[in-house]
């Protein structure tokens, strides 16, 4: 027993030494962790997208101190609101070494300059965000060493000039944001080494115009954002050189017209095209030929009319022509988009006063239609007839008096009718009956609701006229207040008048045809051909035949002027004797010579003068005697 005690003591001492060594090691580790702790105002234990991230908000330490005291495994650094750092320059690589750093963000600060080789030690960097600073100068070699950089954001700074060499060290760059600066021009070939660039944002600069040569070298640009750049025209060459564009935004500029239709034919994979808030007043025929768009935005321009062939050979799913100056929409203008267009927005066109069935003809697949805030007074009752798939309709804030038929729209989910001038005369009856249905209570919505989540229906659509029914809910009107309409009132009268006019015209035409047929049949009975009864040749033959008859008759009773001629006194004498021979007592009338009275030779004709008219043979014998007398 006594022999075991020393062993127990030695064992205890050994364990004690082990415990002291462990405590010393723990102290060393703690001291090491304190030395590598996060800088003030920073949080180094954040994980962003699964990556170790350090976030510093309005730090008081310098940028060099922060970067040199970060954990070595840091992949993302976000510094926001540093007010005392105005210049970035090349740090000592022995002090700052973050081999895994892939994203660096230095934003919302007072940074003014970026010097050469500032980021040279961050050779793994892929994303660099320097937006919302005061940067006005960037050295040509500022981004040297960033061979893997894919995304660069320099937006909302004060850059005025961009050197054509500034992006040369960035062969892997895919996204570049230069928006909201003061850039006035783009040098030729400024992106000549960015062959992988797919997104370029230049919006919010005072470019005025863009030379197509600035895009030389870019092979696969997918998105081009040029909104609010004071552009007055868009070069045809820019579209041709960037035929792989999928998104093109040129809104909020001063464009007076769009490029010709052939310019868009090169953009076969374009899906989003935005020309809103310009000064475009006219669209050419086949303007969007060849395009297959998800969205075409032409809102807030000065377009006055939609012609019939504008959208020919185009495919568009969402078309926005709101807040223009539309006066007319040609019949079947949207027919080419019939089976593709899903959303059509025509709201805010204050000059648009009439919509007919033909105006929206051919929209077989449209689901959402917005024609609110126009000045529409008349809308055809069957305007939605070809658009049976409509789900949302907004006709609020117009001057519509009568609701078009909507009861057959089985897929309708939302209908906005408020702020119109409903005329509660006899023609409001169909609307009144529909408003009383359960379908109306479920579908009607106000243009402005307090909370969308409440989904409060607007069932109290009220009368505007006549004055005795003003502000009365239409659904509560009694039959005595809304009498039946006669078929000749309003639009029905116009339709009946049109039908009557057409019927009258057809009746007159049939009467003329029957008369012609009867005339031809009568001529056929006289031996003329039925087919030739109305031809010019037959008509000419008839006239010639009639003319020949009169010529023959004239020649039969005429006197040859070369052989036999009489003077005026002889003619007078013969006529007197002719009438003398027709009197019963010729001696009481004339004392002509015995040879000229012809009493003996013409006694029978004279005796019958009062009984019947002289025949042609009698007249002939007279003229035979006349010629005999002339010869004597």
Please tell me whether residue 581 adopts helix, strand or coil conformation: helix
Last residue of a domain, one of 138, 158, 178: 158
Q: Is the model's pLDDT at 70 over the cut of 60?
A: yes
* Bridge partner list, 368: 343, 392
Q: With pLDDT > 90 as the criterion, what percentage of the chain qualifies? A: 46
Q: How do strand 51-57 and strand 42-48 relate by DSSP bridges?
A: antiparallel
Residue in the block written with tokens 């040879």: 595
User: In degrees, to the nearest 5, what angle opens at C-alpha 41 toward C-alphas 40 and 46?
Assistant: 105
- Please indicate, yes or no, if residue 78 is contained in any of the structural domains: yes
Cα atoms in the 13 Å half-sphere on the side-chain side of 57: 1
Q: Output the DSSP codes for 415-467.
A: EE--S---B-SGGGHHHHHHHTSHHHHHHEE-SS-S-TTT-------B--BSG
The sign of the CA dihedral 467, 470, 473, 476 is negative
Can you tell me the distance from the alpha carbon of 217 to that of 196, in angstroms, rounded to the nearest whole number? 10
Identify the weakest region by mean pLDDT among 11-20, 366-375, 471-480, 501-510: 11-20
Tokens of 614: 């002289």
- Please indicate, yes or no, if residue 508 is contained in any of the structural domains: no
- Please indicate, yes or no, if residue 544 is contained in any of the structural domains: no
Rg for the chain, CA atoms, rounded: 52
Q: Is 26 exposed, middle or buried, given 0-12, 13-18 or 19+ CB atoms closer than 10 A? A: exposed
**Residue 120 phi, psi dihedral angles, 5° rounding:** -65, -35
Q: Is the model's pLDDT at 274 over the cut of 80?
A: yes
Q: How do strand 305-306 and strand 328-329 relate by DSSP bridges?
A: parallel
Can you tell me the distance from the alpha carbon of 245 to that of 268, in angstroms, rounded to the nearest whole number? 8
CB 259 within 8 A of CB 282: no
Identify the weakest region by mean pLDDT among 282-291, 455-464, 548-557: 548-557
Number of domains composing the chain: 2
CB 94 within 8 A of CB 70: no
* Bridge partner list, 104: 77, 128
Mean pLDDT of the chain: 80
- Please indicate, yes or no, if residue 460 is contained in any of the structural domains: no
Q: Which of 33-47, 117-131, 491-505 has the highest mean pLDDT?
A: 117-131
Tokens of 456: 């409060």
The tens digit of pLDDT for each residue in 218-258 reads 988 999 999 999 999 988 889 989 999 999 999 999 999 99
- In order of 48, 389, 409, 457, the CA distances from 439 in angstroms are 49, 16, 11, 11
| Domain, as residue range, for 47 | 37-158
296 sits in which H/E element: strand 292-297
Give the confidence band of 606 by pLDDT, cuts at 50, 70, 90.
very low
Can you tell me the distance from the alpha carbon of 446 to that of 420, in angstroms, rounded to the nearest whole number? 12
- In order of 195, 271, 562, the CA distances from 568 in angstroms are 118, 105, 16
Q: Is the model's pLDDT at 285 over the cut of 90?
A: no
Q: Output the DSSP codes for 16-73.
A: HHHHHHHHHHHHHHHHHHHHTPPPTTEEEEEEETTEEEEEEES-SS-HHHHHHTS-TT
Identify the weakest region by mean pLDDT among 9-18, 272-281, 295-304, 341-350: 9-18
The answer for residues whose C-beta is within 8 angstroms of residue 405's C-beta and 6 or more apart is 381, 382, 384, 385, 430
- Please indicate, yes or no, if residue 213 is contained in any of the structural domains: no
Can you tell me the distance from the alpha carbon of 111 to that of 116, in angstroms, rounded to the nearest whole number? 15
Return the closest-CA partner of residue 152 out of 125, 176, 120, 180.
176
- Please indicate, yes or no, if residue 262 is contained in any of the structural domains: no
* pTM beyond cutoff 0.95: no
- Please indicate, yes or no, if residue 41 is contained in any of the structural domains: yes
Last residue of a domain, one of 93, 123, 158: 158
CATH of the domain at 65: 3.80.10.10
- Please indicate, yes or no, if residue 446 is contained in any of the structural domains: no
- The CB density around residue 615, as the number of other CB atoms within 10 Å, is 11
- In order of 15, 154, 184, 483, 568, the CA distances from 208 in angstroms are 82, 20, 7, 64, 104
The tens digit of pLDDT for each residue in 357-403 reads 999 988 999 999 999 999 999 999 999 988 989 999 999 999 999 99
CB 432 within 8 A of CB 477: yes
Can you tell me the distance from the alpha carbon of 629 to that of 565, in angstroms, rounded to the nearest whole number? 11
CA 304 to chain centre: 11
The tens digit of pLDDT for each residue in 417-458 reads 989 999 999 899 999 999 999 888 888 887 554 444 444 556
């Amino acid at each position: 027993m006594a022999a075991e005690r020393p062993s127990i003591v030695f064992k205890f001492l050994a364990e004690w030494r082990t415990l002291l060594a462990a405590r010393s090691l723990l102290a060393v580790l703690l001291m090491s962790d304190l030395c590598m702790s996060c800088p003030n105002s920073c949080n180094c234990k954040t994980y962003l997208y699964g990556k170790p991230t350090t976030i510093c908000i309005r730090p008081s330490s310098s940028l060099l101190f922060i970067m040199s005291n970060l954990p070595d495994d840091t992949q993302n650094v976000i510094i926001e609101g540093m007010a005392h750092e105005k210049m970035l320059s090349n740090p000592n690589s022995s002090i700052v070494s973050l081999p895994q750093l892939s994203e660096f963000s230095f934003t919302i600060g007072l940074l003014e300059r970026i010097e050469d080789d500032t980021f040279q030690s961050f050779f793994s960097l892929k994303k660099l965000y320097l937006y919302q600073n005061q940067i006005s100068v960037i050295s040509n070699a500022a981004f040297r060493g960033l061979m893997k950089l894919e995304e660069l954001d320099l937006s909302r700074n004060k850059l005025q000039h961009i050197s054509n060499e500034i992006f040369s060290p960035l062969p892997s760059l895919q996204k570049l944001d230069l928006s909201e600066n003061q850039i006035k021009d783009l040098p030729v070939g400024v992106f000549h080494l960015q062959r992988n660039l797919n997104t370029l944002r230049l919006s919010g600069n005072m470019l005025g115009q863009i030379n197509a040569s600035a895009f030389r070298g870019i092979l696969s640009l997918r998105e081009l954002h040029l909104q609010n750049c004071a552009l007055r025209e868009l070069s045809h060459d820019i579209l041709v050189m960037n035929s792989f564009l999928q998104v093109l935004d040129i809104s909020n500029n001063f464009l007076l017209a769009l490029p010709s239709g052939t310019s868009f034919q090169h953009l076969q994979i374009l899906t989003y095209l935005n020309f809103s808030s310009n000064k475009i007043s006219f669209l050419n025929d086949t303007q969007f030929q060849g395009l297959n768009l998800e969205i075409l935005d032409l809102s807030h321009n000065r377009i006055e009319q939609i012609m019939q062939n504008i959208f020919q050979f185009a495919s568009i799913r969402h078309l926005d022509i709101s807040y223009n100056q539309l006066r007319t929409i040609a019949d079947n203008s949207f027919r080419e988009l019939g089976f593709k267009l899903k959303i059509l927005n025509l709201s805010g066109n204050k000059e648009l006063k009439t919509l007919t069935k033909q105006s929206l003809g051919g929209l077989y697949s449209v689901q959402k239609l917005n024609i609110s805030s126009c000045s529409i007074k008349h809308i055809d009752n069957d305007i939605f007839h070809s658009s049976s798939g409509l789900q949302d309709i907004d006709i609020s804030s117009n001057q519509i008096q009568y609701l078009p038929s909507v009861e057959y729209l089985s897929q309708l989910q939302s209908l906005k009718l408020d702020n119109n001038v409903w005329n509660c005369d006899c023609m409001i009856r169909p609307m009144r009956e529909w408003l009383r249905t359960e379908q109306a209570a479920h579908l009607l919505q106000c243009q402005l609701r307090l909370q969308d989540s409440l989904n409060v229906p607007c069932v109290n659509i009220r009368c505007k006229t006549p004055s005795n029914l003003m502000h009365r809910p239409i659904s509560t009107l009694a039959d005595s207040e809304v009498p039946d309409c006669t078929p000749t009132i309003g639009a029905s009268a116009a339709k009946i008048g049109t039908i009557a006019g057409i019927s009258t015209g057809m009746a007159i035409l049939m009467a003329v045809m029957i008369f012609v047929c009867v005339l031809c049949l009568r001529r056929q009975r006289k031996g003329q051909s039925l087919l030739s009864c109305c031809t010019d040749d037959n008509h000419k033959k008839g006239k010639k035949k009639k003319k020949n008859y009169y010529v023959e008759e004239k020649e039969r009773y005429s006197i040859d002027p070369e052989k036999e001629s009489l003077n005026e006194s002889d003619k007078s004498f013969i006529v007197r004797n002719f009438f003398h021979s027709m009197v019963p007592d010729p001696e009481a009338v004339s004392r002509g010579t015995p040879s000229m009275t012809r009493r003996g030779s013409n006694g029978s004709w004279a005796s019958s003068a009062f009984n019947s008219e002289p025949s042609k043979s009698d007249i002939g014998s007279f003229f035979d005697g006349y010629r005999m007398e002339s010869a004597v």
